[in-house]
Amino acid sequence: MLVHIKDILKDSAKGGYAVGAFNVHNLESVLGVARAAMRAKSPAIIQVSEGAIKYMGLKPVTHIVSTVAKNIAHQVPIALHLDHGKSFNSVFECINAGFTSVHIDASDLPLDENIILTRSVVEVAHPKGVWVQGEVGAMIGGHGRMGGKLKGIPMAKPDEVVKFVRETKVDTVAAAIGTAHGVYANEDVNIGLLKEIKTRTKKPFVLHGGSGVDLKKIKAAIGEGVNIINIGTDIKVAFCTTLIKQCAENASETDPRKLMSPTIKAVEDVVYNLMGVFGSAGKAHFEEIET
């Protein structure tokens, strides 16, 4: 079922687990996440980037996610979220389309400009009941990038995060604490920094760059209060490696469904395993909805 993100998070904060926010890029990845959520009996956040919206169209992706949530993931809570919205306009369009949560990512601007833009989003989102995620300390790397070591992963400054949260009134906060977008050998989670940010902001914390991070470190971060973990690259890789293999092994196939079906299962399996790691498996409320 489609729910407001706040209904997913209130239970995770009490239950000591994190909810995965999974980036989707097409119908197959939406189905993969929905089936994993049903199999794991887990809540899930389905998130789309501006790139995914450009590819699928805002209305189509909104309808695909809500229809799949209602009809495939009908026994588990699913929330729809905009990931890394870079401008007021793109965030505003998602608010009007019915998203219950939007991320305004102005983290590459100077702090004061980040605060002004983020606060302007909060001012239009909150009267409509929409939650806003803000970000301090830009993440490096790139979605889908694989391998090697990054030269110096930047860390957010706690004083800046505290000022940002206080002055913007965001509902959830993301900050650079050692992870990166993509998969790299030297990703880490700075637990001390996370603890300080959590204690001083008392806000739900979103860990970006979840792919490629040592699962023990992920679990330690959840123990210190990470509430949402973003996963993008793992899904892209599962989808693409499976599709490439299918095409190579069935070069004369003319039915797209035969080539694509295994990609749904590949995404489902990756997401299902992560739901176990995040502790969200088994935490869904089973309330049937009217369809």
- Chain centre distance of CA 163: 24
Q: Is residue 211 close enough to count as binding ligand G3H by CB under 6 A?
A: yes
The item of ligand G3H, Zn ion, none sharing an interface with residue 81, based on CB under 5 to 8 Å by kind, is none
Stretches 92-100, 129-137, 160-168, 202-210: which one binds ligand G3H (CB under 6 A)?
202-210
Pairing verdict, β 78-85 and 172-175: unpaired
Choose the binding region for ligand G3H from 3-11, 194-202, 232-240, 263-271 (rule: CB under 6 A): 232-240
The span from the CA of 27 to the CA of 31, in Å, is: 6
Nearer to ligand G3H, 210 or 279 (CB): 210
Q: At what angle do helices 158-168 and 111-125 cross, to 10 degrees?
A: 30
Per partner kind, with CB cut-offs from 5 to 8 A, the member of Zn ion, ligand G3H, none near residue 23 is ligand G3H
DSSP character string of 102-134: EEE--TTS-HHHHHHHHHHHHHHHGGGT-EEEE
Instruction: Kindly state the tokens that stand for 80.
Output: 């729809």
User: Taking the complex as a whole, how short is the minimal distance between the CB of residue 38 and Zn ion, in angstroms?
Assistant: 25
Exactly one of 78, 132, 197, 231 binds ligand G3H (CB under 6 A); that residue is 231
Q: What are 246's two structure tokens?
A: 């299918």
Q: Which is nearer to ligand G3H, 1 or 229 (CB)?
A: 229
* Cβ atoms of 265 and 257 closer than 8 Å: no
Task: Calculate the dihedral angle through the C-alpha atoms of 214, 216, 217, 221, rounding to the nearest 10 degrees.
Answer: 140
Q: Could you say which of 83, 105, 171, 234 is catalytic?
A: 83
Q: Which of 182, 204, 225, 279 binds ligand G3H (CB under 6 A)?
A: 182
Query: Which residues are the active-site residues?
Result: 83
* Residues that bind ligand G3H in the complex, under the rule CB under 6 A: 23, 83-84, 143, 181-182, 208-211, 230-234
